[in-house]
Structure formats: C-alpha cells, structure tokens
Amino acid sequence: MAVYLIATLDTKGAEANYVRHQLSSLGVATVVVDAGCLGAATCAADVSRAQVFGLAGTSVEAMQQQGDRGVAIAQACAGVRRLVMQAFDGGALQGVLGLGGSAGTTIATTAMRALPLGVPKLMVSTLASGNVRAWVADKDITMMNSVVDILGLNRISRTLLHHAAAAMAGMVQHPAPVATPEETQRPLLAITMFGVTTPCAERAKQVLEQAGYEVLVFHATGNGGEAMESLIREGWFAGVLDITTTEIADELCGGVLSAGPMRLTAAAACGIPQVVSVGATDMVNFHARESVPARFLERKLHAHNASVTLMRTTPAENTAIGLDIGAKLAAAAGPCEIHLPALGVSDLDRAGQPFADLAARSALFESLKQNAGSTPVVSHNLHLNDPRFAELLAHALLRLLATHS
C-alpha cells in the first residue's frame, strides 16, 4: 500500500520530489501521480500524465492541441479520480496527499472527495486560508495553507512540506482504532442541531442513547446538513431525527448556510425512518452585519455575535419553507412524521424574544399541513426547546424504528 501524491509535475515537480523523499524517510511508500499537461515534467512520476488522461478517455496530445486549460483540468480530474478509486478498490491506497494552486487543488480534491470517510486526505494548497467548501464539500479533507506559492523550494516551503509529509505519515501509520463489536452492534442515528436548538437536540440524544442507539449530531451550518445527507445515502444510519431544518431557510431566502436544494431528500429517498421538525426556520444567516445584502437592511436583524447576523423570516418566506419541507416529505419512501412546536421554533422565537412572530409561525405550520400529503403532521403546545418536546420527538422516532425493523 502507498500514499498517492498528486501534483502537476510541470510546475510542482521539485516540491513533489521533496515530499516523496520526506515520506520515504518516514517509512511511507509513495506513488507520485503527474496531473500536468502543458510543460515538461521536472521529476519522475510513478503514474504518468499519459496514463492519467488515458483513464479519462483522452490524451495529453489532444489536450495540448485543444489548448483549453479548463477542459484539461476537468479531464485530469476525471483521470485522477478514476486512478485513485481503482487503487482504493484494489487495496493499494493508504491515503492521498495533494500539492497545488487552484488547478492542482481542484484535481486532487476531486479524487479525495470520491473516497470514503476515514481514508487520510491532505491538501497543501495556496487556497487553504479562505473558504474551502468548494474543495472540501462534506468530506474529511485536511486543508493546509502553503503560505508561499508552491513554486520552488525555500526555507519556508521546505518546512511546510516536511510538516505535510509528517502529518500524512502520522495518519497512515497510526490509523483509527477499529470499532469494537459492542459499538458496531449499536445502530446509528442522525440528529441536526443549531445553537438555538441545542437543548432539544441534547435531550433527544439522551433518550435515544438510553434506548441503545449511537447518535451522531450534525451542526446545521450548511456543510453539516450536506454531510448528513451524504452519509444517509451511503447507508450509515438506521433513522434520522431532523430537528433543525434551518438550512432550508438559508437556501430559499439567500442566507450563507445553505446545504443546497437536496437537503431533506436523502432519508426520504432511502426509505429510512425520519422524524422532522422546524428548528431555527425563523432565521436566515449572514456573517457580520456589513455582509447583509442591502435589500435586507430594513428587515428584523439580530446580532448573534460579531461574526453572525440573523434575519427573521417573514410569513411569506415561511409559507415557502413549509412548501419545500412538506413536498419533500410527502415523497418519502419510508415512515416519516412531522412534529411542530406551537410555542416557538428556536430560543429567539418565544414570548419576549426578538424573533417571536405568531403570524410567521402560523404560515409555516399551515403550509406544511397543506403540502405534506399523507405524512402525519402533529402539533404540540410546547416550545421546541422544552424537554417534553424533545422526548416526544425521540419516542416518535423509536416507534417508527420499531415498526420499520
């Protein structure tokens, strides 16, 4: 088995060669993959660019003749992804380490995202100090800021590349412990949580764990919901307690914490039991107040902290949110219930708090009832963070799990 080291060797050859020798000195076998296309490679590759583009169904010559860098990068992505998956499926891959700027980061992380959870993935990138969601998505990719451009070896780049090699060596030489038989016998459940729905999630988690389940909690910040949806589709979970569907508000209303249009579709498609509520659908998320779009500046805004500004959703927006949630759950292939907290959907939506808005809440609930089809919609005269509401949600999921098994 070996670490697959991915780089464009026409521009990153010296650095790739340096990392290869660092890994070798640490006892790690390396397969160097050349994902370059234009210039001549400046170090030897174990997998040539000809092989990479061949796996993508094209050739280096064809890419050079076409002269379109974007197309070449896309084909390199396809070829490297296929190469890495073949190595993984054949038991030859321990981890993936990438070096690059925008092109190299795109190519290497495309392959990394295809790999399952737990396979070591490390990207040394000039892009790693900003928003890296485009490259990481919902995978366990470690991004390391290169600080200086990856263009030649110097006293800074040598240090950072050494650290990258040492980090990868540590990950592959000290793998995570294998789950015990007792752990593997406990089915997994997923819960969604936000800061303003934490009491509900914590109490529901306690009830479900006492019933013999292992519970994974996902922070509903866009990436969290996306990760949960991905893991549901991969078959990790026996059921889902989707308390906090706030990411749908961000998707529909232009916030920064959207999990995309496919949020709330995986459990429905896979047919596993799910109990859904409307936690934090009273709010849309933005960064610092100056980041709020001008069209929203007259809306009801609340500073959660210096970096997070929340906007109260309107009755019209809540009608749209209810339509989205209801239509998705109406199509569920498995058992599903919707539970509504009549006294408020977050810590900010209760009597005396800044987002208390009965009209908006009523619009949400009515829209859900109209659009949920045959999915049961149950209203409780409780606040979302009332322990009794959390217990009702947990017991509802346990009931669906018992009848589904």
Q: Are residues 31 and 75 in the same domain?
A: yes
Do 269 and 161 belong to one domain? no
Domain boundary residue among 145, 173, 201?
A: 173
Question: Model confidence at 177, in pLDDT bands (50, 70, 90)?
Answer: confident
Tell me which residue range forms the domain holding 168.
2-173
> Amino acid identity of 265?
T
Specify whether 293 is located in the same domain as 158.
no
Burial of residue 155, with CB atoms counted within 10 A of its CB: 0-12 exposed, 13-18 middle, 19 or more buried: exposed
Q: Quote the CA–CA distance of 133 and 131 in Å, as a whole number.
A: 6
Residues 301 and 316: their CA atoms lie apart, in Å, by: 17
Query: How many domains does the structure of the chain reveal?
Result: 2
| pLDDT(179) > 90 | no
- pLDDT band at residue 142, thresholds of 50, 70 and 90? very high
The CA distance from 230 to 138, in Å, is 8
Rg from Cα positions in the chain: 24
Average pLDDT over residues 289-318: 94
CATH of the domain at 316: 3.40.50.12030
Percent of the chain at pLDDT > 70 equals 100
Whether residue 253 sits in one domain with residue 114: no
379 has a pLDDT exceeding 90: yes
pTM, two decimal places: 0.84
Adjacent-strand bridge partners of 96:
4, 121
Contact 383, 348 (CB under 8 A): no
DSSP 3-state of 97: strand
Phi, psi for residue 239 in degrees, rounded to 5: -170, 170
Which pLDDT score is estimated for 161? 96
Q: Which residues contact 53 (CB under 8 A, 6 or more apart)?
A: 37, 59, 60, 62, 63, 75, 76, 79
Confidence bin at 65 (pLDDT 50/70/90): confident
User: And the tokens for 368?
Assistant: 């859900």
Here the tokens at position 8 are 């464009």
Q: Is the pLDDT of residue 373 over 90?
A: yes
Confidence of residue 235 (pLDDT cuts 50, 70, 90): very high
Asked whether residue 89 falls in the same domain as residue 195, the answer is no
For residue 306, pLDDT beyond 90: no
User: Smallest Cα–Cα separation from 118: which of 219, 234, 253?
Assistant: 234
Average of per-residue pLDDT across 125-147: 92
Give yes or no: residues 253 and 143 share one domain. Answer: no
Same domain, residue pair 73 and 27: yes
Same domain, 21 and 115: yes
236 and 161 fall within a common domain: no
User: Which residue, of 156, 173, 190, is where some domain finishes?
Assistant: 173
What pLDDT does 231 receive? 94
Quick one: pLDDT at residue 271? 96
